Amino acid sequence: MATIEGRHQRNHLPEADRRELDRTIAPHTVIAPHTVDITPHAVTARPAAYAWALARIAIGWVFLWAFLDKTFGWGFATPADKAWIQGGSPTTGFLKGTADNALGGFFAGLAGQGWVDLLFMLGLLGIGAALILGAGVRIAAVAGGLMLVLMWAAELPLATNPFMDEHIVYAIVLAGLAMANAGDTLGIGTRWGRTALVKRLPILK
């Protein structure tokens, strides 16, 4: 209503006064252009988030599949007669094979112990499930990184490289997943992060 009244009053001004009013108003009238953010961060953030999410799911499946195969003996890395549910030890094969390595005396001594088997299998299941779901990625990254570093240490000295192998690479990627909040894309990380528990204990993100 005020705008209509203003225009009505302007139309009743003398021509010279209307031109003077237009010269006063026009320079101060600015139409903001529509802008599009084309900075490198804006262009690459979305694809990078999906790349991290796919890496998270892929590594999660590696852990979860190891749990399933060792538990049920589906014939990939574990024969049916050596399945965990058949009384087989999921750690004996790997740890016994490290007996001649630098730390073999320590690791070979852990082979076949019930508490070691239980911790190992719970770790595989928990890490795999957390990574695939995208919830608890930080805890999964810490636990998975520790497990991988221990497996790397058990194989020292390495046969094909002075110090680097897939265990270290996976551990580095796990750290990246945690720092990139990779559970927020293609996962339930965002919803999980809004819960009261995670707000109180951010490490559970």
Tens digit of pLDDT for each residue in 162-176? 999 999 999 999 999
How many angstroms from the chain centroid is the CA of residue 83? 30
Q: Which is higher by pLDDT, 144 or 39?
A: 144
What's the pLDDT score for residue 2? 47
- The mean pLDDT of 138-165, rounded to a whole number, is 97
First to last CA, the chain: 53
The Cα-based distances of 190 to 34, 46, 202 in angstroms read 30, 15, 12
Cis preceding-peptide flag for 157 (omega within 30 of 0): yes
Rounded to the nearest 10 degrees, what angle do helices 40-72 and 166-179 cross at?
A: 130
What's the pLDDT score for residue 78? 94
What's the pLDDT score for residue 43? 42
d(CA 172, CA 24): 63
What's the pLDDT score for residue 185? 96
Whether pTM exceeds 0.85 = no
Q: Which of 4-8, 68-72, 178-182 has the lowest mean pLDDT?
A: 4-8
What's the pLDDT score for residue 4? 46
Q: What is the mean pLDDT of the chain?
A: 86
Predicted confidence (pLDDT) at residue 179 exceeds the cutoff of 50: yes
What's the pLDDT band for 16 if we cut at 50, 70, 90?
low
| Residue 98: strand, helix, or coil | coil
